[in-house]
Amino acid sequence: MPLSQQFRKPEFKKISDVIWEIPTTFKQGMKVPARIYATKKLIDQMDLQVYDQITNVATLPGIQKYAFCMPDGHSGYGFPIGGVAAFDPNENGVISPGGIGFDINCGMRLVLTNLTFKDVQPHLKTLVNKLFERVPAGVGSTGFVKLTKDQFRKVVEEGAEWCIENGYGWEEDLERTELNGKADWADVSKISSKAIERGFNQIGTLGSGNHYLEVQIVKPENIFDEKLAKKWGLFPNQVVVMFHCGSRGFGHQIGTDYLQTFLPIMERKYGIKILDRELACAPFNSPEGQDYFKAMACGVNMSFANRQVILHRIREVFADVFKQDAEKLGLHMVFDIAHNRASLEEHEVDGKKKKLVVHRKGATGSYPAGREEIPKLYRDDGSPVIIGGSMETGSYLLVGGPNAAETFMSTAHGSGRTMSRTKATKMFRGQQLFNEMLKHGIYVKSVSWAGLAEEAGAAYKNIDDVIEATHLAGISKKVVRFIPVGNIKG
């Protein structure tokens, strides 16, 4: 349990039907209020630790305006999952691994096809089975790209660029990826040998937990912005592929290493006192803070490379099953976007433009049209935002909303859990879940029945409720909803 007070539900100040504020009087040391973006229904579903954690975030040095929690918020390590906070380096603002997550640059990639469900349905089981074979999943899974440790060091400095140069993708993929697939401030000298050891054989793997690869369909009634959907290559009854994964053990080790670096120096060297040791941090401009930022960028690049290689495998499988090359099948990316990263961005605070370190932990960048963070391909539209739901329900493609500046250009990242994985495995049986999903037209391949049970739809909030909250708040707007028909779980 954190070192702060016992968890309790605050008395909220209602700002709107989807914005709830916790004042600085809630907890000693809060520098700014906390704001939760959620409907009343979603607020009532949040565990009390969310409020404790987001108000702990509000005590960190250099924080600007508010500590935010998105509608899919639930308790995490340090920050709640769904947590957003921006820090000013010129006001002793910090960087914290607990505000980024151990799975650095964990994110979503959405891929089009020109196939309809009618084309795919007869081949669905074959398709899912082959994807399961070609994209390793589960704890400890290793990829087909065999790298030496020195080659891996190059990958984590070059990201998806390395993949394209080595034949694992198309040049156009880079312009459809955040940061063009490369955090160019990465410095592998800031990475431990243990992190290299954990990551060098994991390129092209899904991992476990809530990571997945899903075959989905676009039902006509689930297209909310017809003009934008058409412009981005989406059409009724289309089959698309969405997947969710990150930097695996490599990112986890980077987070672990720097937490251990920050803990002994925070107070002694920088005079920083924190309410929860999981919020271990250092001033962004300090040598330690900069080292972590450069190490984090290596995690970012590993994650981009991981998803790029998975896309390469997906294209191979579709070409194999449908006996046409991937280009003729229309397997173009829509976008690759992360939800576990710190970014240095310019934002306006009280009428003044500032360069801030924006932490998004289980939260997605949601940039309205014109922002420099958006690749040129989408800059006139706003950033595509990909939000994954549970394997039983559905997922969404959104676009950056008109009010996103209120949250430092951030929105939700998924459904958000309502129960722990342990509780889910006690409540649900994997094989029974498999049979029920099959009855509903969803074919699943999983590494284990227990892993399947952990991810039961009932263990998550309703994705439609989460998306409706972000839509009503104007921080992201609905474009298309996707329905799962085939799923691969770690």
- pLDDT (0 to 100) of residue 6: 65
The arithmetic mean of pLDDT across residues 82-98, rounded, is 98
Is pLDDT at 1 greater than 50 in this prediction? no
Higher per-residue confidence, 139 vs 41:
41
Mean pLDDT of the chain: 95
Mean predicted confidence (pLDDT) in 129-139: 90
Residue 5 pLDDT > 80, yes or no? no
Q: Which residue has the tokens 């699943």?
A: 444
Looking at per-residue pLDDT, the higher value among 110 and 459 belongs to 110
pTM above 0.85, yes or no: yes
pLDDT of 460 > 60? The answer is yes
Q: Compute the average pLDDT of residues 361-368.
A: 98
| % residues pLDDT > 70 (the chain) | 99
Least confident of 171-185, 272-286, 442-456, 470-484: 442-456
The CATH superfamily assigned to 13-418+460-489 is tRNA-splicing ligase RtcB (3.90.1860.10)
DSSP string computed for 238-266: BEEEEEEE--HHHHHHHHHHHHHHHTTTH
The pLDDT, as a whole number, for residue 207 is: 87
**What count of other Cβ atoms lies within 10 Å of the Cβ of residue 172?**
12
Q: Which of 50-54, 179-183, 446-450 has the lowest mean pLDDT?
A: 446-450
Amino acid at position 35, single letter: R
Whether 413 is a known active-site residue: answer yes
| β-strand pairing of 19-22 with 13-16 | antiparallel
Edge-to-edge strand order for the sheet containing 19-22?
Answer: 13-16, 19-22, 34-37, 67-74, 81-87, 352-361, 340-349
Question: What confidence tens digit (pLDDT) does each residue in 287-322 have?
Answer: 999 999 999 999 999 999 999 999 999 999 999 999
Mean pLDDT for 129-153 is 90
Q: Which region among 1-15, 308-322, 355-369 has the lowest average model confidence (pLDDT)?
A: 1-15
Q: Which one of the listed residues 74, 359, 413, 471 is annotated catalytic?
A: 413
Q: According to the model, what pLDDT value does residue 422 have? A: 84
Closest C-alpha among 204, 228, 208, 223 to residue 482: 223
The mean per-residue pLDDT over the stretch 201-226 comes to 94
Asked if pLDDT for residue 449 goes beyond 80, the answer is: yes
Interval 106-120 mean pLDDT: 98
Looking at residue 116, its amino acid is: T
Mean pLDDT of 261-290: 97
Domain layout of the chain by residue ranges: 13-418+460-489
Is the pLDDT at 4 greater than 60? The verdict is no
Q: State the pLDDT at residue 208.
A: 84
Q: Is the pLDDT confidence value at 2 over 50?
A: no
Span 395-424, mean pLDDT? 92
Percent of the chain with pLDDT over 90: 85
